[in-house]
């Protein structure tokens, strides 16, 4: 089933546009206006060290395979062991170490990605970033390895040079409250103009089920010189760290709870629950309630400091027990779960839902909520907006479903444009390009079916590609 020959690699200028000539022509016009807009990447997981140190990215395998769980989850699903891909084990047991050998395995199995966004993104990177002319397969594996490897040694392929070349206006990373933000400080002090900001992700100190929660809360106390065994001071410590993050550019917080459940306890109940979860002796329900309470506390803090809240719920983390024990977190074994928003968000919304000075961006891994819950909620509550299709759904079909199921109830202006949410820095232009193309395709269909005018579509294309993100994330 894999490839038998050396094939030309070319990115068709009309890729992702409808084959219908009328729609395609409209999409081309809309896209021409937005394709070169600067990239706003207000939510993602790139490593700020890259931009602080500006060192070479190493070799193709280190850059493109090992950090990309989209890539190795697919290979693993087809019987290729993570050991043979050199994924680092928890306990340091040796795995494959020759990056070229790993690259060959990847190349040989690249056909598995047919029809997936990984193929779209990677071929974009191969062609646009590295100028490769043939498709990746077992026959071109070594050519790829050598060409990419050579490029990575040159100054033009260092992180800052690529950042500038990619025309990124703003890039947000995501850090724990315990992070010293040393890399962000270094970037700020370096004189480099690249706008790399942080975002505040408090899960390590707000989720009682997070590995090391108690130690994390203690560390938070040390960092802030506050007694974080007191709920009041714990909240103060969080507020203090938020201010510190803000001073390094943060405009948002991010919350990765397993569910969207919120709570609105009295101060006494909250204090008492906090003491309980700090003991380490608590139920699953306690942990859920505490996380929910912290969402509401964070909303209250956002009303103070203006940080935008992002809620990314619904992932069953580390589903594969064998993989988790051997390789740890973030190894492609997170699986979406059914997620409820209507009941779950009620306590927070009862308290703050009507506020126009609060901004909460909701994401989902459960597409059934688009038309049933999320669009009706965002189409009503002033404080709610919808984040773009996320993670498994950050794909052409996923984006299409998002627009089809959300637009008619929430409109376009209760959405916030695209964000890439990626660890794979080189894929950022590819991902934004896919999003812009899919938005233009969707708008072109609406125009071709006389559901909106082309003038409106032109304005919308700008909004979806740039303006909405800028406004929603206060960039």
Stretch that binds a second copy, among 17-25, 57-65, 211-219, 222-230 (CB under 8 A): 17-25
Q: Closest separation between CB of residue 333 and a second copy, Å?
A: 6
Q: Which of 270, 410, 430, 472: binder of a second copy (CB under 8 A)?
A: 410
Cβ atoms of residues 146 and 130 within 8 Å: no
Helical (H) or strand (E) element with 39: strand 39-41
Q: Which of 88, 267, 354, 474: binder of a second copy (CB under 8 A)?
A: 354
Q: Which of 86, 117, 177, 313: binder of a second copy (CB under 8 A)?
A: 117
Interatomic CA distance for residues 197 and 43, integer angstroms: 10
User: Cβ closer to a second copy: 300 or 342?
Assistant: 342
Interface with a second copy includes 282 (CB under 8 A)?
A: no
Stretch that binds a second copy, among 161-169, 186-194, 273-281, 338-346 (CB under 8 A): 338-346
Interatomic CA distance for residues 9 and 340, integer angstroms: 43
- Per-residue binding string, a second copy, 284-323, x by CB under 8 A, is --------------------------------x--xxxxx
User: Cβ closer to a second copy: 272 or 453?
Assistant: 453
DSSP output for 348-367: HHHHHTT-SS--EEE--S-T
Interface with a second copy includes 29 (CB under 8 A)?
A: no
User: Cβ closer to a second copy: 206 or 422?
Assistant: 422
Interface with a second copy includes 420 (CB under 8 A)?
A: no
Cβ atoms of residues 159 and 57 within 8 Å: yes
Write out the binding residues for a second copy, residues 455-474 only, by CB under 8 A: 455-456, 459-460, 463, 467
Length of the chain (residues): 475
Interface with a second copy includes 124 (CB under 8 A)?
A: no
3-state secondary structure 151-200: HHHCHHHCHHHHHHHCCEEEEECCECCCCCCHHHHHHHHHCCCCCEECCE
Compute φ and ψ for 406, nearest 5 degrees.
-105, -35
User: Cβ closer to a second copy: 77 or 180?
Assistant: 77
Q: Which of 120, 235, 311, 461: binder of a second copy (CB under 8 A)?
A: 120
Q: Closest separation between CB of residue 11 and a second copy, Å?
A: 8
CA distances from 147 to 58, 61, 124, 156 (A): 13, 13, 15, 14
Q: Which of 50, 163, 231, 381: binder of a second copy (CB under 8 A)?
A: 381
User: Cβ closer to a second copy: 88 or 165?
Assistant: 88
Interface with a second copy includes 154 (CB under 8 A)?
A: no
Interatomic CA distance for residues 291 and 282, integer angstroms: 13
Interface with a second copy includes 375 (CB under 8 A)?
A: yes
For residue 245, the tally of other CB atoms under 10 A from its CB is 26
Interface with a second copy includes 366 (CB under 8 A)?
A: yes
**Which pair of structure tokens corresponds to residue 397?**
């079909």
- Per-residue binding string, a second copy, 40-79, x by CB under 8 A, is ---------------------------------xx-xxxx
User: Cβ closer to a second copy: 208 or 396?
Assistant: 396
Interatomic CA distance for residues 53 and 183, integer angstroms: 8
Q: Which of 270, 307, 377, 424: binder of a second copy (CB under 8 A)?
A: 377
Cβ atoms of residues 362 and 378 within 8 Å: yes
Sole residue written with tokens 């409820």: 340
């Amino acid at each position: 089933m894999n490839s038998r020959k050396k094939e030309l690699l070319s990115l068709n200028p009309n890729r992702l546009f409808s084959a219908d000539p009328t729609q395609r022509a409209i999409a081309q016009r809309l896209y021409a206006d937005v394709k070169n807009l600067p990239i706003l990447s207000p939510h993602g997981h790139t490593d700020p060290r890259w931009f602080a140190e500006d060192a070479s990215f190493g070799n193709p395998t280190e850059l493109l395979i090992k950090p990309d769980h989209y890539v190795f989850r697919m290979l693993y699903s087809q019987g290729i062991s993570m050991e043979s891909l050199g994924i680092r084990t928890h306990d340091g047991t040796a795995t494959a170490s020759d990056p070229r050998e790993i690259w060959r395995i990847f190349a040989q199995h690249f056909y598995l990605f047919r029809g997936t966004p990984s193929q779209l993104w990677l071929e974009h990177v191969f062609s646009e970033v590295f100028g490769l002319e043939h498709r990746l397969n077992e026959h071109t594996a070594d050519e790829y390895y050598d060409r990419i490897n050579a490029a990575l040694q040159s100054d033009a392929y260092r992180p800052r040079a690529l950042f500038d070349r990619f025309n990124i206006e703003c890039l947000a990373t995501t850090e724990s409250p315990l992070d010293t933000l040393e890399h962000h400080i270094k970037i700020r002090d370096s004189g480099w103009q690249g706008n790399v900001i942080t975002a505040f992700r408090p899960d390590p100190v707000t989720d009682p089920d997070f590995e090391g929660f108690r130690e994390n809360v203690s560390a938070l106390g040390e960092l802030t010189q506050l007694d974080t065994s007191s709920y009041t001071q714990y909240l103060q410590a969080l507020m203090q760290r938020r201010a510190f993050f803000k001073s390094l550019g943060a405009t948002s917080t991010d919350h990765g709870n397993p569910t969207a459940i919120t709570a609105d306890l009295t101060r006494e109940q909250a204090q008492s629950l906090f003491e309980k979860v700090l003991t380490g002796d608590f139920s699953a329900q306690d942990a859920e309630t505490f996380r929910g309470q912290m969402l509401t506390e964070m909303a209250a803090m956002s009303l103070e400091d203006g940080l935008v809240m992002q809620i990314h719920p619904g992932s069953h983390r580390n589903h594969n027990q064998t993989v988790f024990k051997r390789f740890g977190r973030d190894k492609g074994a997170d699986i979406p779960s059914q997620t409820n928003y209507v009941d779950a968000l009620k306590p927070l919304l009862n308290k703050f839902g009507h506020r126009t000075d609060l901004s909460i961006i909701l994401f989902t891994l459960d597409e059934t909520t688009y038309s049933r819950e999320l669009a009706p909620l965002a189409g009503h509550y002033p404080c709610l907006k919808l984040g773009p299709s996320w993670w498994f759904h950050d794909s052409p079909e996923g984006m299409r479903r998002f627009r089809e199921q959300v637009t008619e109830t929430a409109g376009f202006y209760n959405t916030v444009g695209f964000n890439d949410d990626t660890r794979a820095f080189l894929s950022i232009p590819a991902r934004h390009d896919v999003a812009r193309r899919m938005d233009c395709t969707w708008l072109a269909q609406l125009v071709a079916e006389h559901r909106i005018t082309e003038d409106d579509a032109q304005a919308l294309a700008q909004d979806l590609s740039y303006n909405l993100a800028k406004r929603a994330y206060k960039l």
